[in-house]
Amino acid sequence: MEVSVASISRSRTVAMVLLAVLVCGWVPRVDAASPEEIDQKLKAMEEEMRALKQQLKELKEVPPPAVQTPPRAPRREREHPR
């Protein structure tokens, strides 16, 4: 599975923004959630952040693929005019 660092970073940013929104208590007044629902959502987001951090850690631990250079042609001996 190949995941780009940009998408991990973007997902992490979205998760942090949502977490900040929940922590600061900004929720729509019409559809106010109970403290228990907010706590469940917070725990789910924390778990998602842990998973994303683990994925990022694993990506950092994987060595980059080795660049293979084509074999060089053998050097030809030049004949020097005398």
29-65 residue pLDDT tens: 556 778 999 999 999 999 999 999 999 998 888 777 7
Distance between CA 60 and CA 52 in Å, rounded?
12
Distance between CA 61 and CA 3 in Å, rounded?
14
Which is higher by pLDDT, 27 or 76? 76
Predicted local distance difference test score (pLDDT) of residue 39:
94
Predicted local distance difference test score (pLDDT) of residue 15:
85
Predicted local distance difference test score (pLDDT) of residue 53:
93
Which of these, 52, 42, 54, lies nearest to 10 by C-alpha position? 52
Distance between CA 52 and CA 48 in Å, rounded?
6
CB 45 within 8 A of CB 19: yes
Distance between CA 27 and CA 10 in Å, rounded?
22
